[in-house]
Structure 1
Amino acid sequence: MTSPFDRIRPAAVTPRQVTDLALAFGLAVPGSDATVTCVASDNRVVADGDLFVALPGTRAHGARFAADAVARGATAVLTDAEGAALLAGPAGDAGDESRAGDESRAAPGTGLGVPVLVAPDPRSILGRVAAWVVGNPADRLMTFGVTGTNGKTTTTYQLAHLLRALGWKGGLVGTVETRSGDRVLPSRLTTPEAADLQAVLAAMLEDEVRTLAMEVSSHALAQHRADGIVFGVAGFTNLSQDHLDFHGDLESYFATKKQLFTPAHARRGVVTADDPWGVRLAQESEVPVATLSTTGTATTTDAADWVVTDVAPSGTGSAFTVTHRDGRTLRTSTSLPGAYNVANAALALVMVLEGGADVRDVAEALDASGGLAATVPGRMEVVATSPRVVVDFAHNTEALALALDALRPTTAGRLAVVFGATGDRDPGKRPLMGAAAVAGADVVYVTDDDPHDEDPAAVRAAVLDGARAELVLGDRDVTLHEVAPREEAIRAAVRDAAPADTVLVAGRGHETIQEIAGVDHALDDRVEARAALAARGDAVMVPAQVTGKQHERTTA
């Protein structure tokens, strides 16, 4: 049965005995000779031979969809004690395919006819179970995992670019897309759910992929989505306030990120130690790490293992040198603007070197490929040059400030920014973002991001509070506008820009869906910017990039 929720999965599978699975994970052994070939935690993607993992959810327990999963071909179920009790309850209609619809029609029923395994916390073992069922595919890949608040996507794209330049056929998993060699799929989450992720990795092996560059979000670490992978090299970009609606405070956020640097998740790491969180992570890591200093502020060049020096403008980006304390050195460039993109590129470079690549081979590969020239959709993506219009994913305070700082030196006229804050997410950062915009731009358009279920006007009001407070404190002439909806704000900013101005459209980047009150609306900042530029008639536009679609706000 096909559905809009079909996923990538391996074509060739080796059946695994449910009895062996139970023994491997210390579960009660069922009296059954059933086999499984893959794992699914969403009944809508179940196929013949799957183990369906019924997890507790916010709206309903996954066990209520077990009958539908079995009808689609599941040959076994893994759940918790609550789910097992539900499975032993009264029979119901097992035909409902909607997990968000009428849950009374999705009752599990009795007599599923397949073995049921019970674990105290099935989510905590889901990743390892999914990996075991499909043969632990990550063990046969050269793996690189990147975490941090900002820069994960750019760093993984640079990793993929460099590994390809070295001759490796690669895979990529992240916010914008999932790649398996030449196959490209859009991403729903920064890090997929554990069962989906392991299926993708198994499919990558069939595509003869040998390397993996992957974003590892804090949500994924907290929810065990990356379990079952021990990365050859883990990388850390930075940490700043974001997603505190989920983590509660920065200390908890940091503790979650730090999980990547434990033997359960990585063999070694590279930590960008440009802020106190990076310095602390390097000290507290449970695996060997190399430190990287790109600014010399939080660490001295003598203390770091790798140091970035001699940064100079080069084309649209920067050239820079990376040097190890043992004397190894390499000069290359990144095509993306800003010091933070130098840091992202340097992290990718050092991760590959720490993974065992020879510095001479890397230097030759970069020379042949034009440096770290990977184009990252929605990351400092230039839509037009006169006026310059740039679309970027900057959706928190630090990222917004860094993006404006990066564009300021190359803006001859005024620097304008269009942005908003996300509804139902970390309200504490809203006034901070408003203040950062006023501190960095000459013209500020406060608009909507993804309001979700919040009143968009209330979200904008919180952003405007911070912006107005900064206006009072600041000593620059800044023009502040409130314009909604978002497409109108983009039109206004582009319409009002002079040829020498720069307009930064920030917060959504590659995303193409805006959620308002539970309803998805098509909205691509790049498309809206191009339409506004076309209406001007005098703009110089850059050819559009082709990217996958993004359906959800992705995570930390």
Structure 2
Amino acid sequence: MRITELQLPDDVAVTGPADTAVHGVSHDSRQTQPGWLYAALPGANVHGAQFAAPLITAGVRAVLTDQAGRQLIVEALDGDPAAPEVDELCLLITADPRARLGSIAAQLYGTDPAAPQLLGITGTNGKTTTSYILDGLLTALGRTTGLIGTVATTIAGQTQPAVRTTPEAPELHALFARMRTAEVDTCAMEVSSHALAQHRVDGARFAVAGFTNLSQDHLDFHASMEEYFQTKASLFTPAFSARGVIMLADDYSRRLAATAEVPVATISRASAENPTYLIAEESGPHFTLHTPAGALAARAPLPGSFNVANTALTLALLLESGTELGALAAVSGSFDVTVPGRMEQVNDAAPLAVVDYSHTPDAITQVLGGLSSAGRPLVIVCGAGGDRDPSKRADMGAAAARGADIVIVTDDNPRSEDPAAIRAAVRSGAEAARASGTARATRIEEIPARSEAIIAGVAAAGETGTVLVAGKGHETGQEIAGVVHPFDDREHTRRACASRPSGVPAGRVQD
């Protein structure tokens, strides 16, 4: 495509040869190829234009940037006999190049909202699990699927690890192009608040967007819960979605249902809320979803009442996107799903051991609640991440103490922070809950080394108990002082369980 063929807003000024042809786009200088458009974006510490000169020398002839970026390019090329003159380059200059990147990438890669059909999921907790359940249902329906999220990207059964929950705009639209080539018809995609705020999903439009819940998280990025909510709510506007499905899980979701700018359907367990979809007749993972088209018998493929809600959301997303009730009825009670690091059972006896990504107060509450019918004692091994919202740490400890019999506080990903200070904040919340009489926990320990904490948690659960290792889920590294060390909670938990002598079976999650 030539630059002249792009539909650009009035705030983008084009200088140089506008008939320059470009075959791809990237904001990452390491990925940009000759003949591509390089998006030289201003960053928190460095401007992307500082990396433009070698790319231009190698054959890049089009750059999207701002005035500061243009000046950096001019200075870098000045006097370099191997580099072209600035007026030989096609420069797209705008005050906010990141805000224009998504639309440009969508045009260059030929993004079509109908191919594949996009189903988005946002919310604080449950995005990954819901997207995997949705992908499992789509597969059971015989669809060729795509999946984009925190754990991995999958295209027609081929999987690669994910770098972040929602890719940057050029990567995202390139993925859509690959999905079209692979004849993917439906893509389940997590949509993070960071992605919405940073224009990563610009140029994408969802047939239906789903909302799981909203609770405290990411206040290291968002200035307030109100800003966090408004960012999530922007997904439910005509720019991004045709319609939405909202789980009435909290006051924020009810507010969104009342203010969304696109038509929305609602889901609830309470008939008094007059939801579009009513969850009823629950028995463990089995439930009935009452829909406008009739009743649908279903089974959550993962334990916990919150996974009943996640499954109901996926069913509603499919119905709202045009799937027939009869087709869903044929698969909704029998499909299976495994979600890496989400309520992942890594040992089923002596003790029952579960690894979960839960890293917010609400997520810890929900996961421990889902394990309340499993074997006793219920032990949680948990910590909190460094360089992330510090205001939730004490609340995470309190949630752990309220839901478990034994709490073992340990390091998560301390990153650049003092691990002892993070542990102290988590433990203070647990101790405060016990002091107030609201805690279930009768024992609270602090073991800094995560591997030792997991061993202690398995030992504390014994032959009849349950141990939950919370916080890191699918991650395979632990970041300490800027260094990522190999560490997989699942492998460490398996080894700790295997080192125990065999005994009587532990309790099970009800099925």
Give the TM-score normalised by the residue count of structure 2: 0.94
1:20 aligns with 2:8: no
Number of residues of Structure 1 aligned to a counterpart in Structure 2:
501
* Residue of structure 2 equivalent to 1:311: 282
* Residue of structure 2 equivalent to 1:430: 393
* Residue of structure 2 equivalent to 1:88: 74
* Residue of structure 1 equivalent to 2:418: 455
Q: Tell me by how many angstroms 1:253 deviates.
A: 0.5
Q: Secondary structure at the match of 1:45?
A: coil
Partners of 1:88 and 1:109 within 8 A in 2? no
Q: Secondary structure at the match of 2:434?
A: helix
Q: Deviations over 1:270-291 (max 9, x none)?
A: 0011211111001000000001
One-letter identity of the residue aligned with 1:308: I
1:201 aligns with 2:201: no
Q: Tell me by how many angstroms 1:456 deviates.
A: 0.3
One-letter identity of the residue aligned with 2:247: T
* CA 1:182–1:31: 2 relative to 1, 3 Å: same
What pairs up with 1:228-307 in 2 under 5 angstroms? 228-293=203-268, 295-296=269-270, 300-301=271-272, 303-307=274-278
Q: Of 121, 134, 137, which aligns to 1:162?
A: 137
* CA 1:423–1:93: 2 relative to 1, 3 Å: farther
Q: Deviations over 1:7-66 (max 9, x none)?
A: xxxxxxxxx101222656663343423111111000011123211100001121000011
Q: Secondary structure at the match of 2:30?
A: helix
Q: Of 308, 322, 332, which aligns to 2:298?
A: 332
1:63 aligns with 2:24: no
One-letter identity of the residue aligned with 2:49: A
* Residue of structure 1 equivalent to 2:313: 347
Q: Tell me by how many angstroms 1:90 deviates.
A: 4.3
What pairs up with 1:183-198 in 2 under 5 angstroms? 183-198=158-173
Determine the C-alpha separation between the residues in 2 that align with 1:30 and 1:268.
Answer: 39
Determine the C-alpha separation between the residues in 1 that align with 2:134 and 2:370.
Answer: 22
Determine the C-alpha separation between the residues in 2 that align with 1:253 and 1:264.
Answer: 19
Q: Deviations over 1:293-335 (max 9, x none)?
A: 1x32xxx44511110001102xxxx0011002x4511001012
Question: Which runs of structure 1 show a deviation greater than 6 angstroms over 4 or more consecutive aligned residues?
Answer: 539-542
Determine the C-alpha separation between the residues in 2 that align with 1:344 and 1:251.
Answer: 24
Determine the C-alpha separation between the residues in 2 that align with 1:477 and 1:93.
Answer: 70
Partners of 2:403 and 2:441 within 8 A in 1? no
Determine the C-alpha separation between the residues in 2 that align with 1:390 and 1:47.
Answer: 44
Determine the C-alpha separation between the residues in 1 that align with 2:10 and 2:459.
Answer: 61
Percent identity (aligned): 47
Q: Of 495, 498, 502, which aligns to 1:534?
A: 498
Determine the C-alpha separation between the residues in 2 that align with 1:283 and 1:539.
Answer: 54
One-letter identity of the residue aligned with 1:45: Q
* CA 1:379–1:72: 2 relative to 1, 3 Å: farther
Q: Deviations over 1:166-192 (max 9, x none)?
A: 221010000000011122110010000
Partners of 1:263 and 1:287 within 8 A in 2? yes
Q: Of 342, 365, 373, which aligns to 1:409?
A: 373
* Residue of structure 2 equivalent to 1:554: none
Q: Secondary structure at the match of 2:380?
A: strand
Determine the C-alpha separation between the residues in 1 that align with 2:149 and 2:79.
Answer: 37
Q: Deviations over 1:395-434 (max 9, x none)?
A: 00000011111101122x2000001011111111011011
Determine the C-alpha separation between the residues in 2 that align with 1:511 and 1:540.
Answer: 31
Q: Tell me by how many angstroms 1:244 deviates.
A: 0.7
Q: Tell me by how many angstroms 1:227 deviates.
A: 0.7
- Between 39-48 and 475-484, the greater mean CA deviation after superposition: 475-484
Partners of 1:30 and 1:115 within 8 A in 2? yes
* Residue of structure 2 equivalent to 1:362: 328
Determine the C-alpha separation between the residues in 2 that align with 1:93 and 1:430.
Answer: 54
1:497 aligns with 2:468: no
One-letter identity of the residue aligned with 2:208: V
One-letter identity of the residue aligned with 2:36: D
Partners of 1:67 and 1:109 within 8 A in 2? no
Determine the C-alpha separation between the residues in 2 that align with 1:447 and 1:390.
Answer: 17
* Residue of structure 1 equivalent to 2:341: 378
* Residue of structure 1 equivalent to 2:509: none
Partners of 1:155 and 1:345 within 8 A in 2? yes
Q: Deviations over 1:326-345 (max 9, x none)?
A: 45110010121111111101
Structure 2 unpaired stretches of 5+: 507-511
Q: Of 471, 480, 484, which aligns to 2:444?
A: 480
Determine the C-alpha separation between the residues in 2 that align with 1:456 and 1:241.
Answer: 22
Determine the C-alpha separation between the residues in 1 that align with 2:475 and 2:504.
Answer: 23
One-letter identity of the residue aligned with 2:380: V
* Residue of structure 1 equivalent to 2:434: 471
Determine the C-alpha separation between the residues in 2 that align with 1:417 and 1:307.
Answer: 33
* CA 1:409–1:71: 2 relative to 1, 3 Å: farther
Q: Secondary structure at the match of 1:444?
A: strand
Determine the C-alpha separation between the residues in 1 that align with 2:505 and 2:77.
Answer: 61
* CA 1:431–1:396: 2 relative to 1, 3 Å: same
Q: Of 453, 466, 478, which aligns to 1:514?
A: 478
Determine the C-alpha separation between the residues in 1 that align with 2:45 and 2:85.
Answer: 21
Determine the C-alpha separation between the residues in 2 that align with 1:27 and 1:229.
Answer: 20
Q: Of 391, 404, 407, which aligns to 2:355?
A: 391
* CA 1:511–1:248: 2 relative to 1, 3 Å: same
Q: Tell me by how many angstroms 1:73 deviates.
A: 4.4
Q: Tell me by how many angstroms 1:138 deviates.
A: 3.4
Q: Tell me by how many angstroms 1:374 deviates.
A: 1.4
Q: Secondary structure at the match of 2:43?
A: coil
* Residue of structure 2 equivalent to 1:46: 32
Determine the C-alpha separation between the residues in 2 that align with 1:271 and 1:353.
Answer: 13
* CA 1:458–1:40: 2 relative to 1, 3 Å: same
Determine the C-alpha separation between the residues in 2 that align with 1:290 and 1:196.
Answer: 31
Q: Deviations over 1:65-90 (max 9, x none)?
A: 11233345433110011111111114
Structure 1 unpaired stretches of 5+: 1-15, 95-107, 543-556
1:218 aligns with 2:181: no
- Between 159-168 and 388-397, the greater mean CA deviation after superposition: 159-168
One-letter identity of the residue aligned with 2:200: R
* CA 1:377–1:218: 2 relative to 1, 3 Å: same
Determine the C-alpha separation between the residues in 2 that align with 1:302 and 1:457.
Answer: 45
* CA 1:25–1:73: 2 relative to 1, 3 Å: farther
Q: Deviations over 1:450-493 (max 9, x none)?
A: 11110000000111111111111126451111001111111111
